[in-house]
Chain A
Amino acid sequence: MAFIEFKNVRIAGISTGVPKHIEYTKDNPNISSEYDAVDFIKSTGVESRRIDDRFTTSDLCCAAAERLIEDLNWNKSEIEVLIFVTQGPDYICPATACIIQDRLGLSKECYAAELPLGCSGWVYGLSYAASLLSTGNVRKALLMAGDSKFIMPIPDQLSSHAGTVTALEYEEGNDGFKFHFGTDGSGWDAIYIPDGGARNGVTPKSFELEEINGKQMCRLQSRMNGMDVFAFAISTAPKSIKKTLEHYGVTMEDIDYCILHQANLQIDEIIRGKLKLPPEKVPYSLHVFGNTSSATIPITINTQLKGKIENKPTRFICCGFGIGLSWGTVLFNTDNIVLSNLVELD
């Protein structure tokens, strides 16, 4: 049972960088041959997305980081840990986390590492940062999480571009973070990019179009078995949340907000129904930001709870689930959290 707890760490603030360009689902005439935009929006909840292939995830995260560091009044030289969660690194190697250390002007006395997870990635990244900070040997960390452009664009109507930054710091006596994690690698090909890694390198065949789920795609584009992912999500996420509450002796009544990964409104509404939670406890960002992969949980807290939680103790349970297949749930409290204004890149 992968229950892990780290004390003496708190979230100091969250910021988000997105492209300024908005794509509206209703304006897309080619949603599907099977259904129209109205039915698509009703089912998925995605009304608009932020897309701009000029910006990599690290561009979005760095812009968000500059804003958050300023809002927190942190000194860059104090930041000793940088965790970058993305499936869209700037280069296949080296790790983009190293490039970001220099780009942000962080100290060379900096632990920088990268985590190539998707929808569950923020929760996993949080455990990396929390484990390091809980020692007290390092005091301030930036956790960057998001996805934007990949090796080639994904021709879907759900995924969106975002880069978030979560600032964490050591605080003696803080209750910290309580985690539950799970993995089912048998579903590794439920969402994947076939070529471009060491298993299948890039060959001329990688660029040949084939029909995948009614769309023309090549082997460098992410493909998904939607039904498998859907069935996984509605069964696994509520179980992980219930296990977490039970293990740590917390009830749903104690929770102010349950933040779910958001890939599809139908999935989230089923999970919310299973957990018997009222809508006001489960805020969503996917109607305006789409599926933002590992950025979803922090972007939802940042943009949907801004002005509501900054100055009062607030208890969260958050669950990320998806590609891997991988999932993680975390319980934590915030107080005096800084939620930056949205950073839009143009």
Chain B
Amino acid sequence: MELQEFINNFAEQFDDIDASALNGSTIFKDLDEWNSLVALSVIAMIDEEYDITLKGNDIISATTVEDLYNIVQSKK
């Protein structure tokens, strides 16, 4: 799994955010479009693409996109 691929998949969960606008150090909870419904889509994407079942605390404890990527990596 590559970070860039993860960022692309992450960006797809938003209506108006292009992957080029994000990088590993993006603080995703500060994005205008971020809300609890998007969080569910991110959990669904990680389940679908990486076969990993996240906990709510995984999302809560992550700050940047790369933090989330690392959490997914650690559960593989």
* Interface of A toward B, CB cutoff 8 Å: 32, 34-35, 39-40, 43, 213, 225-228, 230-232, 234-235, 264, 266, 270
Nearest-CB residue, chain B, relative to A236:
B53
B37 at the interface (CB under 8 A from A): yes
B22 at the interface (CB under 8 A from A): no
A226 CB contacts on chain B under 8 angstroms: 36, 40, 56
Provided the pairs A226-B56, A228-B55, A228-B56 are in contact, do residues A235 and B37 lie with their beta carbons within 8 angstroms? no
Whether the pair B56, A225 counts as a contact (CB closer than 8 A) is yes
Ordered by A's residue number, 11 sampled pairs between the chains whose C-beta atoms are within 8 Å are A35-B37, A227-B43, A227-B56, A230-B40, A230-B43, A230-B44, A231-B47, A231-B54, A231-B55, A264-B40, A266-B44
A40 CB contacts on chain B under 8 angstroms: 37
Closest chain-B Cβ to A321's Cβ sits at a distance in Å of 13
Interface residues of B in 45-59 (CB under 8 A from A): 47-48, 53-56, 59
Give 1 or 0 for each of B29-46: 1 = CB within 8 Å of chain A CB: 000000111011101100
Closest chain-B Cβ to A51's Cβ sits at a distance in Å of 22
Choice from B35, B48, B59 contacting A227 with Cβ under 8 Å: B59
A235 CB contacts on chain B under 8 angstroms: 47, 53
Whether the pair B53, A34 counts as a contact (CB closer than 8 A) is no
Nearest-CB residue, chain A, relative to B40:
A230
* Interface of B toward A, CB cutoff 8 Å: 35-37, 39-41, 43-44, 47-48, 53-56, 59
Whether the pair A232, B53 counts as a contact (CB closer than 8 A) is yes
Whether the pair A231, B37 counts as a contact (CB closer than 8 A) is no
Query: Complex formed: what's the CA distance from A231 to B43 in Å?
Result: 6
Counting from the closest, the 6 A-B pairs by CB-CB distance are A227-B56, A34-B35, A235-B53, A228-B56, A43-B37, A231-B53
Whether the pair A227, B40 counts as a contact (CB closer than 8 A) is yes
B40 CB contacts on chain A under 8 angstroms: 43, 226-227, 230, 264, 266
Closest chain-A Cβ to B37's Cβ sits at a distance in Å of 5
B55 CB contacts on chain A under 8 angstroms: 227-228, 231
A39 CB contacts on chain B under 8 angstroms: 37
Query: Complex formed: what's the CA distance from A213 to B39 in Å?
Result: 13
A264 CB contacts on chain B under 8 angstroms: 40
Query: Complex formed: what's the CA distance from A232 to B43 in Å?
Result: 10
Nearest-CB residue, chain A, relative to B37:
A43
Query: Complex formed: what's the CA distance from A227 to B53 in Å?
Result: 10
Query: Complex formed: what's the CA distance from A225 to B37 in Å?
Result: 13
Closest chain-B Cβ to A23's Cβ sits at a distance in Å of 20
Nearest-CB residue, chain A, relative to B46:
A231
Closest chain-B Cβ to A194's Cβ sits at a distance in Å of 17
B39 CB contacts on chain A under 8 angstroms: 227
Nearest-CB residue, chain B, relative to A214:
B36
Query: Complex formed: what's the CA distance from A264 to B39 in Å?
Result: 14
Nearest-CB residue, chain A, relative to B35:
A34
Closest chain-A Cβ to B6's Cβ sits at a distance in Å of 17
